[in-house]
Structure 1
Amino acid sequence: MRGSAPAWLTARPIAHRGLHNAAAGIIENTPSAVRAAVTANYGIEVDLQITADGEAMVFHDDALGRLTEGTAPLASQTAAALKSIPFKATADRMMTLGDLCDLVAGRVPLVLELKSRFDGDLRVAQRAAAVLASYAGPVAAMSFDPMLVHALRTLAPSLLRGIVAERHFEEAPGKPPGYSLALGLLLHAPWSRPLFVAYSVKDLPAPATALARLIGLPVLTWTVRSDADLTRARRYADQAIFEGIRP
């Protein structure tokens, strides 16, 4: 599992959910936030969720109510329905992964977080692998769920894959005792085989990230929101996933 991640992964700071600024009408995970990050030459981190008809959409929340005029669970909607639902504070519409790839067109790196309910559903990994097979730009996929990371080894062996973690997880329903502790310590890594780690900045330094760096796995850290966070990121990680500041 010794590291072999490309240099572009850590070459520049990564804008968390794009370079968003709600006060300026630039909302997270929207085309406007993506364009702003491209203009500023930052990498871009966004979230992917799977729809009722198997499409990967760029959106963070399980439900639509915080950011859009909808209220339903995202997973209950088709891609076409989601693209028709207005955001509350922007004229942008929700993107598919394909839309995102067309918009970025390889100009800056993409880091895609595959959202999971830890229920064994691999569809978001399957759809991401299918779409990214024809994408020529620098791109990585990551998830809190080691099952999705493991699945990407088979679905997209050449795709850069990573694990997202923090030291303290809530115990997951239906999982054995100690499962959440194992996630924080990355004890699944010999099986899931991540090629990089994205770890919570509030939990740095951490044994898991120290070991990762020792064996050559790059460490990203999230979410960097202050100068103090940035100082910690620079000491204990290889690059920052940031919002609300300009590193």
Structure 2
Amino acid sequence: MLSLLFALIDRFLLPARAAARAGWLREAIYAHRGLHGPGVPENSLAAAEAAIARGFGIECDVQRSRDGQVVVFHDRTLDRLIGQGGALADHTAADLAGMTLLDETGTAVPGETILGLRQLLDRIDGRVPLLIEVKSAPTQRIAPLCLAVRRLLEGYRGPVAVMSFDPRVAAWFRRYSPHVVHGLVVTEAGRRTLLARLKRHLALWRARPQFLAYDIADIANPVVRLARRRGVPVLTWTVRTPDDASRAATYADAPIAEGPVLLAAPAA
């Protein structure tokens, strides 16, 4: 009975007509944090250029520096990608711009530093589609970060969309910047209790996303099937293996991929 109720509300709140504006998302393969690897750090200019050279779209992560600037970085802390302790949010954008990124082997790559979102936008310049994942914390006010992202996107002419695990982000863009395509990132992460299901549906109902980015491990599910029937594009992450790629082709509209499976994908 509850599953039927969830499905009925999902059907009512998934914005099929608005999702038509996000249809271009189906037309690309997305490089997860850029086309990175040995000698090319994730979320770097080099990773962006490598993706552009192959004709891949780019997925990146953004968060806020101490002085309110939007920087391109995945982790909350600097340990893995910079090699020093501390939280990214404790540093200004200028501080971060002086920090050299490490590649996946832990080797510092000269000339590759933490980017501002403006730098990345200027480098891509509309040549390939861009997915911007907005990173937030449950206790964080999301309006300042969303507003900062929106301001940087003003005047940008390339295909771009924002997304987040936080449904407040999509809801903010729907209300205050509806011209920016906005989506919800979803994972079940093994949590399949009734309470976990309810939380996921509440996130969906609050976000009313124009597209979904769903965990490849959970991609075969009724929410995804309903979204695709209603014309809501479904991306899936992170596609790393041939089996992942096969599942993505069956259940989703476009993959967000990395590693050998991405390198094996045809160039645009």
- The answer, yes or no, to whether TM exceeds 0.5 is yes
Given that 1:169 and 1:181 are in contact with CA atoms closer than 8 Å, whether structure 2 keeps it comes out as no
- Cα deviation per residue 1:91-138 (whole Å; 9 max; x = unaligned)? 201111101100000000000000011224212211111110121111
Match for 1:204: what amino acid?
Answer: I
Distance in 1 separating the partners of 2:161 and 2:63: 16
2:253 to 238, 243, 246: 238
Q: Does the 8 A contact of 1:5 with 1:218 survive in 2?
A: no
Q: Which residue of 1 aligns with 2:164?
A: 143
Matched, 1:26 2:40: yes
Moved over 4 A (4+): none
Deviation (angstroms), 1:71: 1.9
Note if 1:90 corresponds to 2:109.
yes
| Counterpart for residue 126 of structure 1 | 147
Residue equivalent to 1:7: 23
Paired residue type of 2:125: A
Q: TM-score, normalised by structure 2?
A: 0.84
In the other structure, the counterpart of 1:74 is 88
Equivalent residues in 2 for 1:147-162, closer than 5 Å: 147-162=168-183
Letter of the 1:90 partner, please give it.
V
Q: Which runs of 5+ in 2 are unaligned?
A: 1-14, 103-107
Contact 2:23–2:233 (Cα < 8 Å) also in 1: no
**What residue ranges of structure 1 are gaps of 5+ in the alignment?**
172-176
Q: Which amino acid aligns with 1:131?
A: L
CA RMSD of aligned residues (A): 1.7
Q: Normalization by structure 1: what TM-score?
A: 0.91
Which residue of structure 2 aligns with residue 189 of structure 1?
204
Partner of 1:220: 235
SS at match of 2:123: helix
8 Å CA contact 1:168, 1:181 repeated in 2: no
Structure 2 equivalent of residue 174 of structure 1:
none
Cα 1:169–1:83 change in 2 (3 A) is farther
Partner of 1:203: 218
Say if 1:110 and 1:27 are closer, same or farther in 2 by CA, change over 3 A. same
Residue 152 of structure 1, CA deviation? 1.1
Change (3 A) 1:169 1:55: farther
Taking the aligned partners of 1:12 and 1:95, their CA distance within structure 2 comes to 24
Sequence identity (%): 38
**1:183 Cα deviation from its structure 2 partner:** 4.2
The structure with higher relative contact order (CA 8 Å, sep 6+) is 2
Asked if 1 retains the 8 angstrom alpha-carbon contact of 2:28 and 2:56, the reply is yes
Q: Counting helix residues as a fraction of each chain, which structure ranks higher? A: 2
